[in-house]
Chains A and B, each alone.
Chain A
Amino acid sequence: QKEVEQDPGPLSVPEGAIVSLNCTYSNSAFQYFMWYRQYSRKGPELLMYTYSSGNKEDGRFTAQVDKSSKYISLFIRDSQPSDSATYLCAMREAAGNKLTFGGGTRVLVKP
C-alpha cells in the first residue's frame, strides 16, 4: 500500500463546475500538506500550502485537511479549461524535509 493514495482519474467536468480532488494517507506524522498543479512536460506549481487540520481558501481554490481521517481535499470553483492539468497532493512530516507525493489526478475541464 502506498503512503499517499490519489485517484489517477481522469476527472472530466464541464466548464464552470466544481472540481473535487482528494488524497488519503497512512502516515500520521504528516503535518504539512500541499497541492500542486502540473501541466504536461512542466514542473509542478504550488497551489495551496496548509499546516495541520483545517480549511484554507485562496481565490477559486479551497484546501481542507482532516487529520483524524487522514484525508485531504482540494476544491476548484468555477473551473476553466486552463485548469486542465494533473493535480498532485504532497505532504511532509514536521521533522523532515522530504515531500511524499500522491500519484496525481488528471483533470480535464471541457468548454
Chain B
Amino acid sequence: GAVVSQHPSWVICKSGTSVKIECRSLDFQATTMFWYRQFPKQSLMLMATSNEGSKATYEQGVEKDKFLINHASLTLSTLTVTSAHPEDSSFYICSASEVFYGYTFGSGTRLTVV
C-alpha cells in the first residue's frame, strides 16, 4: 500500500525561528499534496493544497508568507513555518493524493514553539 513519511515527528523551537517539515511519498508519485493543521480534540483543518511544480493554493485565513509550501518533486513536499510564535504550536499533518491509493496521510508533526 501507499506510504507517506513525515519528518520530524516532533519539534521544539524558539519563538522567532523557522521550522521545516518534510512529507515524502515513499512508493508512489503524489501529484497533489495537502497540509493540515489539527488542534487538540479537533478535526483536521486544511491549510493548503500543493501540486508538483506549481504554487500552493492556500485556504482562506492561512498566511502564505508564514506557512511556506514547496512541492518540488512528485515525492516531496515541505512546509516551513517562518518566524514561529507560540500560537503556531499545533499538530501538522500532510496527505498525498494518488489515483489508485486515494489519500494517504503522514504520521504528523507536533510543533511546540517556546
Contacts and interface: CB of A to CB of B under 8 A. Distances in A.
A88 B103 contact: no
Nearest to A42: B107
Interface residues of A, number: 20
B110 interface: yes
A97 interface: yes
B108 A104 contact: no
B78 interface: no
A53 to B, nearest CB: 19
Interface residues of B, number: 22
Nearest to B110: A41
A44 interface: yes
Nearest to B97: A97
Contact of A103 (B6, B43, B91): B43
A78 interface: no
B82 to A, nearest CB: 23
B42 interface: yes
Nearest to B32: A97
Contact of A43 (B43, B49, B97, B108): B108
Interface string A72-108: 0000000000000000101000000111011110100
Nearest to A92: B103
Interface string B74-114: 00000000000000000101010100001111111010000
Interface of B: 4, 6, 32, 34, 41-44, 46, 49, 91, 93, 95, 97, 102-108, 110
